[in-house]
Amino acid sequence: MKAIRVHEFGGPEVLRVEEVPTPEPGPGEVLVRMHAIGVNPVETYIRAGTYAYKPALPYAPGNDGAGVVEQVGPDVNQFKPGDRVYTAGSLSGTYAEFALCRAEQVHPLPANVSFAQGAAMGTPYATAYRGLFQRAKAKPGETLLVHGASGGVGTAAVQLARSRGLRVLGTAGSDEGLKLAREQGAHEVFDHRAPDQFEQIMNATSGRGVDVIVEMLANANLGKDLTILAKGGRVVIIGSRGRVEIDPRDTMQRDVDVRGMVMPNTPPADLASIHAALVAGLENGTLRPAIGKEFPLTEAARAHRAVMEPGAFGKIVLRTERKR
Ligand code: NAP
């Protein structure tokens, strides 16, 4: 099978297309024939060798994807060949024509959802759900700011929160991104390039502040985020690419919490609960991943450049050459 492999850490050019043996599923494992593969920023940090987690070289990147079950291991009863599925984690890497996964990393993909949309679930939707509901404990009726509502995690957070009855404010840094955030369900949108964005957001809450912020770029915003939270407000740090200065007093005045998260810390029971909710959301139509750019699997390097460019527009996916 064709797979993308990395032999040394570096720029996007280290993503090489190679012919490798197709894996065989052992006990508790499922082999998925990939149709679409989700590309996430974290995969660029790992490839560059700058992330806390460094895989042994060579490795095949990728956690997310969607396709059809090709083969199951001896004791796997919950899936059978031909089932449509999405993956949230993989033993062999999803940037490939086939991905070997543990059965619990595989989830059913309803017939009304495309493979490209399925490839958006594993990291972005699971992250948005965990940030909103398990870390921030966001409740219906609360006001949420999705700070960075135009990308993979942000569009997911907007849909999840809107369907749960929150008032959703979202930001983006391009006109297309602002339009997308509104279409995904944001009640009001703001341009995070605007110098007065925090005043605009505060005004939209009539000076009360927001209850929850899910933050995609904490190094740019955390200091100011703390000034626009309502009493008892929570900010969940999902993304950060540098350092930031805060005034701790801003957390004291209104009993504000700053909560970090990374998906690998999610306990298995919480993870199972997240995917049960996500599959239900796909089935009932409240979750509809927005797909932006698509690239062939063999052009993974282009996808890695694109995912780090400004002007996010939903999810970036790789496609294998197979038809739907
Ligand atoms: P993405 O699709 O590339 O989206 C990036 C988002 O950040 C876009 O909405 C972008 O908006 C926004 N952004 C850019 N500048 C911003 C600013 N000054 N203020 C607020 N937002 C800004 O990436 P993603 O997959 O959604 O991931 C978002 C971040 O979360 C990444 O840093 C990623 O590494 C991280 N992440 C963390 C976890 C975890 O477990 N903690 C899991 C998944 C992702 P414009 O492009 O419109 O400006």
Q: Is 132 helix (H, G, I), strand (E, B) or coil?
A: helix
Residue 148 CA, ligand 1 centroid: distance in Å: 6
**Which residue segment(s) compose the domain that 174 sits in?**
124-264
pLDDT on residue 322: 57
Report yes or no on 270 lying in a domain: no
Q: Could you tell me the sign of the dihedral formed by the alpha carbons of 138, 141, 147, 151, in that order?
A: positive
CATH at 89: 3.90.180.10
Same domain assignment for residues 136 and 114:
no
Question: pLDDT tens digits for the chain (324 residues)?
Answer: 999 999 999 999 999 999 999 999 999 999 999 999 999 999 999 999 999 899 999 999 999 999 999 999 999 999 999 999 999 999 999 999 999 999 999 999 999 999 999 999 999 999 999 999 999 999 999 999 999 999 999 999 999 999 999 999 999 999 999 999 999 999 999 999 999 999 999 999 999 999 999 999 999 999 999 999 999 999 999 999 999 999 999 999 999 999 999 999 999 999 999 999 999 999 999 999 999 999 999 999 999 999 999 999 999 999 997 544
Same domain assignment for residues 143 and 211:
yes
Report yes or no on 16 lying in a domain: yes
Same domain assignment for residues 241 and 146:
yes
Same domain assignment for residues 212 and 175:
yes
Q: Is 122 in the pocket of ligand 1 (CB under 6 A)?
A: no
Report yes or no on 296 lying in a domain: yes
Last residue of a domain, one of 248, 264, 280: 264
Q: Is 217 in the pocket of ligand 1 (CB under 6 A)?
A: yes
Same domain assignment for residues 144 and 212:
yes
In testing the pocket of ligand 1, which one of 190, 216, 236 has its CB within 8 Å of the most ligand atoms? 216
What is the residue whose two structure tokens read 């594993």?
122
Same domain assignment for residues 199 and 233:
yes
pLDDT on residue 323: 47
Same domain assignment for residues 167 and 99:
no
Residue 91 CA, ligand 1 centroid: distance in Å: 26
Report yes or no on 198 lying in a domain: yes
Domain count, the chain: 2
* pTM of the full structure: 0.98
Same domain assignment for residues 174 and 151:
yes
Report yes or no on 279 lying in a domain: no
CATH at 235: 3.40.50.720
Same domain assignment for residues 50 and 166:
no
In testing the pocket of ligand 1, which one of 40, 146, 153, 291 has its CB within 8 Å of the most ligand atoms? 153
pLDDT on residue 287: 98
Asked if 29 and 102 touch (Cβ cutoff 8 Å), the reply is yes
pLDDT on residue 105: 98
Closest-CA residue to 144 (of 123, 124, 164, 130):
164
pLDDT on residue 318: 98
pLDDT on residue 321: 75
Q: Is 220 in the pocket of ligand 1 (CB under 6 A)?
A: yes
- Residues 68-106 as b or e (16 or more Cβ within 10 Å = b): bbbbbbeebeebeeebbbbbbbbebbbbbbbbbbbbebb
Report yes or no on 306 lying in a domain: yes
Same domain assignment for residues 84 and 176:
no
Cα 262 to Cα 275: distance, rounded to the nearest angstrom: 16
Q: Is 25 in the pocket of ligand 1 (CB under 6 A)?
A: no
Report yes or no on 274 lying in a domain: no
Same domain assignment for residues 163 and 184:
yes
Spell out the residues 6+ positions from residue 321 whose beta carbon is closer than 8 angstroms to its own.
Answer: 296, 297
Last residue of a domain, one of 247, 264, 281: 264
Tell me the CA distances in angstroms from 202 to 95, 123, 205, 210, 270, one per residue in order.
Answer: 42, 30, 5, 8, 33
Q: Is 63 helix (H, G, I), strand (E, B) or coil?
A: coil
Report yes or no on 181 lying in a domain: yes
Q: Is 170 in the pocket of ligand 1 (CB under 6 A)?
A: no
Same domain assignment for residues 47 and 79:
yes
**C-alpha dihedral over 292, 262, 156, 110, to 10 degrees?**
90
Residue having the nearest C-alpha atom to atom 27 of ligand 1: 153
